Structure 1
Amino acid sequence: MVDEKEGAFLSHIARRLGRSKPLIEAPQRKTVGVAGLVDMDSPQGKEELIEQFIINWNNLHGIAGTVYKSEIPGLIRKLVAEHSVQKAFGWNVTELSEYGVPEAVVSSGAEYTAWTEREDMIDLAEQCTLGITTCDFAIAETGTLALFASPEHGRVVSLFPWVYLALIPVERLVPRMTEVLSHATEHGMPSSLNFVTGPSRTGDIEMVLTVGVHGPGKVYAYIVE
């Protein structure tokens, strides 16, 4: 029930909206629960997810595509040459070793360091032009990477270098954010859960958009097929 003052206020709003009377009762909803959890048993096909992720990442001023495992060394050499990379930094994970990332960086004439929990890692990251990671999940709906912090997954690898490359195992591509949060809830939240959606963007009081002020200005995301 609403009192007289509340009723008068709601009636005023209703008239401004072109309604004859205010809507006092809550509208009926077909489903109840977190958006995105409904119909989770019917995911989109792999090719559709790949296409959706690439479109959304590119729309956010990133560069996305697909790459075969055998093509990754060539991709690394291209990025090292294009951005004049002298030092590169990567997560300490088996996938990057299997993809031949360290060898490709070194063969291009640059130094490569894998993340460890040494005290000088942050200082070293500030000197690197290129940061390379995999990801824990890639969200097709928004073109977003989910990065779970851990002893092998240093946060600064994706935050400090000007150029950032994510190599995404195709099986980690999911339709929605809710799958990532459900997984984290069920398996334990990491100390930090970072979501990356394109390059760093900052808008000042005059609404001027600047890219790369608080993080990477060039971001690449390639799905490994």
Structure 2
Amino acid sequence: MSAFEIGSKRDRRRSHLSEQIYNRESFLTSLAQNLGRSTPKTVERPTWKHQPQWQILKNASQDELVTVFKKQCETIHTDVIETESDQLADVIHERVKSYNGKSISAWKDERFHQYDIFSKTDATIHKWDPRMKDNVAQTESADIGITFCDLALAESGTIVLFSNENQGRSVSLLPTTYIALVPKSLIVPRMSQATRKIHLLMKEGEFPATCVNFISGPSNSADIEMNLVVGMHGPIRTTYVVISNL
């Protein structure tokens, strides 16, 4: 499982965006002088003549993106289940039962209540709560971690999680098994579209999270003699539940 983090405290985003940058001009001037260059007054974003990253799966329909997503998940050792929101409780019950899960750690996310997701499981549920001091310990001892995702990348079978005080990233990293709930409408072609979405959120003053995690299936490592080991640094098993009507 790979996870790349971009972050700043969400509850401090307003103050973060308004923070002053001190001594920038003097620093840049000194740096330019040492390099024998003039101090740049403005920096223009380059426009690249060729941008193939936007052409891949450009005209794919949402159904086609799901097909690509499912195919890639076969490669990254991840199960995919397709369902609708009114069947989520049954799907979670069956999946938890198949994993012999006795305890679940989940985000503090109103959608779990909205779709009554845990109504049919007998497992003990711990919901991440920023007021509790033992969130990480509770999550570490859980058999299964369950979260919604905020975006998903068809090309790589990757889900994107916007972690914050109610959505601890430990939920997707510490339990032996991880289940991601993936609204179909949030599946985009690839990394390009995901990073553009994050950039737009930041530009609009809505910094999405304390960190942004890109997760592609269960933990994998082939560092030792190129032998693939699944579950080296995180969950051993991963299931993505694609929700077709969300």
TM-score bracket, shorter-length normalisation: 0.7 to 0.9
Residues 1:215 and 2:211 are matched in the alignment:
no
* TM-score, normalization by structure 1: 0.79
Structure 1 consecutive aligned stretches of length 4 or more whose deviation exceeds 3 Å: 37-40
- Does structure 2 conserve the Cα–Cα contact (< 8 Å) formed by 1:43 and 1:175? no
Q: Distance in 1 between matches of 2:150 and 2:167?
A: 10
Equivalent of 1:59, from 75, 82, 95?
A: 75
Which deviates the most, 64-73 or 132-141?
64-73
Specify the alignment match of 1:144 in structure 2. 158
2:116 aligned with 1:100, yes or no?
yes
Q: CA deviation at 1:67?
A: 0.9
Amino acid at match of 2:84: Y
Distance (Å, rounded) in 1 between the aligned partners of 2:117 and 2:219: 24
Q: Say whether 1:115 aligns with 2:132.
A: no
Question: Matched residues in 1 for 2:56 and 2:117: separation?
Answer: 38
Q: Once the 2 structures are TM-superposed, how far is the Cα of residue 33 of structure 1 from its aligned partner?
A: 5.4
1:181 corresponds to 2:198: no
Are 1:88 and 2:104 counterparts? Answer: yes
- 1:199 is matched with which residue? 218
TM-score, normalising length: structure 2: 0.72
Q: Tell me: higher relative CO, structure 1 or 2? Use CA pairs within 8 A at least 6 residues apart.
A: 2
Cross-structure match for 2:16: none
- Residue matched to 1:6: none
Pairwise CA distance, 1:35: 4.0
The structure with more radius of gyration: 1
Give the deviation of 1:43 after TM superposition.
3.8
Identity %: 28
- Selected match of 1:127 from 132, 135, 141: 141
Number of corresponding residues: 191
Alignment RMSD, CA only? 1.8
